Amino acid sequence: MGSLPDLPLLTAIVLTVVLTILLIKKNLNRNGPLPPGPSGLPFLGNALDMSGPYPWLKYTEWSKQYGDVVHIKAVGQSIIILSSPKALGDLLEQRGAIYSDRPRLIMGGELAGYVDSVPLCPYGSRLREYRKLMSEVLTPRKVQDFFALEEEKTREFLGCLLRSPDQFLNHIRRNIAAIVFKITHGYDLQDGSDPLMELAERGDHDFSEAASAGAFLVDSFPALLYLPRWLGFSWMKKAKIFRKNMEELRDAPWEVVKEQVKKGTAAPSFAANLIEKNSNPTKDQEDIYKWVSTGFYAGGADTARSFFLCMSLYPDIQRKAQEEVLRVVGTNRLPTFSDRPLLPYVDALINEVYRMNPVGPTALPHRSTKDDHYNGYFIPAGSIVIPNSWAVLHDPDVYPSPFEFLPERYFDKEAKAKGLNLDPRKFAFGYGRRVCPGQHLADNSFFIAVAMILSVFNISRVDEKAPKPDFSRSEGYISSTIW
């Protein structure tokens, strides 16, 4: 009997929910139809379709059925999936003012603590400050200042490959870390295992897991945030570990450089320059400096891993690239950045690696901040917008024979005149005002590594009888962060 007085309250809640849904539907009808898309389950919508290991394959399947702009819902949240160069350009580039925000990520943003990181920072003054500071060293012209460093570290990388080729993945990661930490903090990696590199690796892994769509139930059901911590759900424990690693990666290198600047022993670096220019920052300014200094380390190892994989699978293409390097460079020296204009086939090979096995099959999601209309369809404010890069990079109407590794495609002038075989870097480094600010540094580092490797090594499969990988999957949502 004690529950009867609650019946009117329960009835009121149910009526409120029903009326709210009806009002939303009425308002949507007034604004025009939503983009087409698959129907979902009651309440859950299409949430279960998004929770699998390869959601971009499902998105691509939908795009073939419904078009390049698809609307779905997940637990009441409107989601727009863009799967063509035109739709991506029209909305994320041309209308960047309203499509550059990030959605709320409970796990990756609030619990793990990455909400103020460069990739996840909401669109606004803080993000503009990040990009302004990073542009001081990361423009196409400014990154040329790092050519000598990248060449030096890549030569060291070749020595490591020669001594222990079976450890090539670790050598790749170490090479990237050596370049980035020297630029950001003036830090030289220790021989053997390095604590800062290990910390960065943990942070990169944590971020990739925490920001993955559908990986944690709390992102779909934010009410779980208010459950008591003593319940000990696995996501609660992970969030605690993620935040601890994040705080250490953000703060520890910065404090070391700050102390070095104070003593006059700091090596030239991005962080040291920030400290020297503003020796007495506010708490908020220093927080911005810490985050922006940490924001340079965003993977790259997975792109290099894709290169090794592709070369082992396509030895004839590897041989063509090696012959070009030999013609241009000879045998008495290693390639340098000055050789790049003379190595068009190597550049085309690099583009095909970006296209064939993209590190970010879907870039980090955007969020619309205003109601909008596109091609006769209504896109509500607050919609999550997912750029399906994988669909574009494997669309036969954009890249003929998309599952064939063909560097030659980029030399086809007739196809280019028809708008085919676009530069895949346009889709590999994010979109619009959220494009990766470090794209030029990353591309340069990848080029010099590829050119030097091709000049001195042959890459082959250990077991020729082993099954070939399935390029239709492109393992990992953001194996390394793509903004």
Q: Are 118 and 215 within 8 A, CB to CB?
A: no
CB atoms within 10 A of CB 182: 21
Q: Are 215 and 107 within 8 A, CB to CB?
A: yes
Q: Are 102 and 120 within 8 A, CB to CB?
A: yes
d(CA 178, CA 181): 6
Interior angle at CA 441, CA 95 and CA 117, nearest 5: 60
d(CA 64, CA 385): 18
436 is in an annotated binding site: yes
Encoded amino acid at 39, one letter: S
| DSSP-assigned beta bridge partners for residue 386 | 81
Cα-based distances in Å from 261 to 235, 264, 278, 285: 39, 5, 12, 17
CB atoms within 10 A of CB 259: 12
Kindly state the tokens that stand for 187: 């830090």
The set of long-range contacts for 225-230, using a CB threshold of 8 Å and a minimum separation of 24, is 225/106, 225/110, 225/111
Name the DSSP class of 189.
P
* CA neighbours closer than 13 Å in the CB half-sphere of residue 331: 2
d(CA 109, CA 124): 16
d(CA 460, CA 228): 53
Cα-based distances in Å from 363 to 5, 119, 211, 213: 50, 10, 11, 11
The DSSP H or E segment spanning 31 is helix 7-31
Helices and strands in the chain: count of H runs, count of E runs: 19, 6
d(CA 44, CA 424): 35
Binding residues for heme: 436
Binding residues: 436
